Amino acid sequence: MTPDDFLRSIPKAELHCHFVGAVPAQVAWDLAQRNGVELPVDGPETLYHYGHFYDFIERYMLIATAIRTVEDFDEAVYAVLEEGYRHGNVQYREMFFNPTDHALGGATYPVMLEGLRRGVARAREDFGVECKLIPSINRQHSPAAALEMVREVVANPCDEVVGIGLDASEPAGPPELFADAYRLAGEHGLKRAAHAAEDYSGIVDGPPANILTCLDLLGCDRIDHGYNMFVDPEVVERLRREQTPINVCLPGSSADLRPMRSVAIRRMIDAGLNVSLHSDDPAMHRVTPGETYVIASKILWLSLDEMVALDLAAIDAAWLDDAGKERLRTTFTEQIEALRAKVA
Ligand SMILES: [Zn+2]
């Protein structure tokens, strides 16, 4: 077994992955055909070839609105979990989905939830994969829509839904706008994460102060992305001291973001931060969770032991109870050791 095969094969816990961005192109294409959603391409082969960030967002929204019925959600999430299992051995997931995006296609929250839970249950049955769900606020929609979304979430409690998230363009929706929605989620025992200080690319910029707002005002116990933290050394020092989990992603095809992110991630690791690595929108970025690990090991100059450490850090950051984490750590460690013995 080559080192790359090892990285593809080790069991993984994926904590930062968007449902829509992970739907395989063929499945997304079929759903769009079925529901009469016109796509700006001739076929599934080119569906995930897009230009700049706004093309990506446009495709993302088209696919979100093409997933409409219980059966659609069931089929799509099953395909996502099968893909992650077969191409990266993702055995545990906490996956974002954006209720207010899917609502634009006509789906109600109970319909989304029913379909997602069915697909999750089928994937558990067929592949032994565990998947929790994170309804995520699209910050480009209004704070009132976010509050309404959380009301729906708390009115429909279930074992799969463990917390909420916040994503999309950070300048359009700074975290303080969503304090009410986060407070309500916290009152109902939901965990909280948010995309913060995501980039400084000129597209999705967010200042390091957004990280502090997420921790102190929104009650987040982990941060998604956070690359822009290095503008403020005090923020970096606090994250190091408190060992706040930072869930980072290295985009596969967004070549413009990759250099900036790789430098930031390497600096986080070198600074002793609590980092774990995830695939974000794997299908839309035309990577797999397995390939994400291979790419990261090369770009970040990380040894296999360092990659394993990133992998296990995701278990510590997961929204599982201690017994759940221990169970996952034991099975992962056993499988990793068995694979390690086969590496040439
Ligand atoms: Zn994300």
Could you read off the pLDDT of 64-81 as tens digits, one per residue?
A: 999 999 999 999 999 999
For residue 256, give Cα distances in angstroms to 139, 263, 301.
Answer: 23, 13, 19
Confidence at residue 201, expressed as pLDDT on a 0 to 100 scale? 61
Please provide the average confidence, as pLDDT, over all residues in the chain: 95
Structure-derived torsion over alpha carbons of residues 253, 258, 261, 266, reported in degrees to the nearest 10: 110
Find the mean pLDDT for residues 16-32. Answer: 98
Q: Is 198 a catalytic residue?
A: yes
**pLDDT tens digits for range 124-182:** 999 999 999 999 999 999 999 999 999 999 999 999 999 999 998 888 899 999 999 99
Dihedral sign of CA atoms 146, 201, 313, 223 in order: negative
Query: pTM to 2 decimals?
Result: 0.96
**Residue 254: what pLDDT?**
57
* Residue 211 in tokens: 């990280």
Cα 329 to ligand 1 centre (Å): 25
pLDDT at 132: 98
CA of 280 to the centre of ligand 1 (A): 5
Residues in the chain: 344
Is the model's pLDDT at 108 over the cut of 80? Answer: yes
Distance CA 315, CA 174 (A): 29
Cα 295 to Cα 5, 177, 258: the distances in Å are 12, 36, 11
Q: Which fold has domain 3-340?
A: TIM Barrel (3.20.20)
Catalytic residue among 83, 114, 170, 198: 198
Q: Measured in angstroms, how far is the CA atom of residue 18 from the centroid of ligand 1? A: 6
Which residues lie near ion ligand 1 (Cβ < 5 Å)? 280
State the pLDDT at residue 56. Answer: 85
- Tell me the CA–centroid distance for residue 90 and ligand 1, in Å: 17
The predicted pLDDT at position 344 comes to 77
Residues 6+ apart with CB under 8 A from 223: 193, 194, 196, 197, 211, 214, 215, 239, 244, 245, 246, 247
Residue 256 pLDDT > 80, yes or no? no
**Separation of CA 188 and ligand 1 centre (Å):** 24
Range list of H helices, the chain:
3-9, 25-34, 53-66, 70-86, 99-103, 109-127, 143-155, 179-187, 209-216, 233-242, 258-270, 289-299, 304-317, 322-340
Q: How confident is the model at residue 204 (pLDDT cuts 50, 70, 90)?
A: low
Question: How far is Cα 220 from Cα 4, in angstroms, rounded to an integer?
Answer: 34
Per-domain residue ranges of the chain:
3-340
Contact 195, 165 (CB under 8 A): yes
Q: In angstroms, rounded to a whole number, what is the distance separating the alpha carbons of residues 255 and 251?
A: 7
- Closest among 174, 178, 241 to 211, alpha carbons compared: 174
Looking at the chain, the whole-number percentage of residues with pLDDT higher than 70 is 97
